[in-house]
């Protein structure tokens, strides 16, 4: 009979395989231009808060502080709320994976010209300058990530989903200090420009 550790390992590997299949499917749909998107004006702060809340227990288990830093108001963005949440989850899971106990991951947002920029910053080990251009490549993982349980597709999926919604995504990093993944999405510029009031 299998002991608890073996069962747990099999469960983890099965879950990782399922995630890999899902990610490959998303990328294939994106490549074919067949991603189903429900683009509409959404309150970006609501999506940020709910996504962060969904990962709060994982952060607590890793002894990493998960913080949200939002202005009092933000314009709504033209996006698919579920897909934006998926992007944020991927970025947050990646940040948590590379942040040691006692570190912090912060999600922030700010208004820009006709866009809203969302940033996921961590106090992890950072990314080497020669690796930075490759972080969104499919199946690419720096050596430091190979024991972290990632599929090497999460950031590729995030990039595809952001670009499919008319946005852009990029990474900045200082080795030994941490990394910041930033994305922009088009702000709602018509219909009176409602704002999302943070609390």
Question: Residue 62 has what pLDDT?
Answer: 94
Strand partners, 116: 111, 185
Distance CA 5, CA 98 (A): 24
Question: Residue 188 has what pLDDT?
Answer: 87
Neighbouring CB atoms inside 10 A of 167's CB total 22
Give the residue carrying structure tokens 């709060």.
56
Give the residue carrying structure tokens 């952060």.
59
φ, ψ at 44 (rounded to 5°)? -65, -35
> Residue 131 in 3-state DSSP?
coil
Low-confidence ranges of the chain (pLDDT < 50): 144-148, 191-199
- Which run of H or of E encompasses 21? helix 4-31
Question: Residue 114 has what pLDDT?
Answer: 92
Question: Residue 23 has what pLDDT?
Answer: 64
Question: Residue 56 has what pLDDT?
Answer: 93
- ∠14-8-52 over CA atoms, to 5°? 75
Question: Hey, what CATH topology would domain 4-197 get?
Answer: Heat Shock Protein 90 (3.30.565)
Number of residues written out for the chain = 199
Which pTM was predicted? 0.80
Strands 195-197 and 168-174, by their bridges, are unpaired
């Amino acid at each position: 009979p299998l002991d608890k550790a073996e069962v747990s390992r099999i469960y983890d590997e099965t879950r990782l395989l399922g995630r890999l299949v899902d990610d490959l499917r998303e990328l294939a749909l994106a490549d074919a231009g067949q991603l189903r998107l429900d683009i509409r004006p959404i309150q970006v702060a609501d999506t940020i808060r709910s996504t962060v809340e969904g990962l709060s227990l994982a952060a607590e288990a890793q002894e990493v502080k998960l913080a949200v830093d939002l202005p009092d108001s933000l314009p709504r963005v033209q996006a698919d709320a579920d897909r934006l949440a998926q992007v944020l989850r991927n970025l947050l899971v990646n940040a948590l994976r590379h942040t040691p106990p006692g570190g912090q991951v912060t999600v922030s947002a700010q208004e820009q010209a006709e866009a809203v920029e969302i940033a996921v910053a961590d106090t992890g080990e950072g990314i080497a300058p020669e690796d930075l251009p490759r972080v969104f490549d499919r199946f690419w993982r720096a050596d430091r990530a190979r024991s972290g349980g990632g599929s090497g597709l999460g950031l590729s999926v995030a990039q595809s989903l952001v670009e499919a919604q008319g946005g852009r995504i990029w990474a900045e990093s200082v080795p030994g200090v941490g990394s910041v993944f930033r994305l922009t999405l088009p702000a709602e510029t018509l219909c009176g420009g409602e704002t999302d009031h943070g609390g």
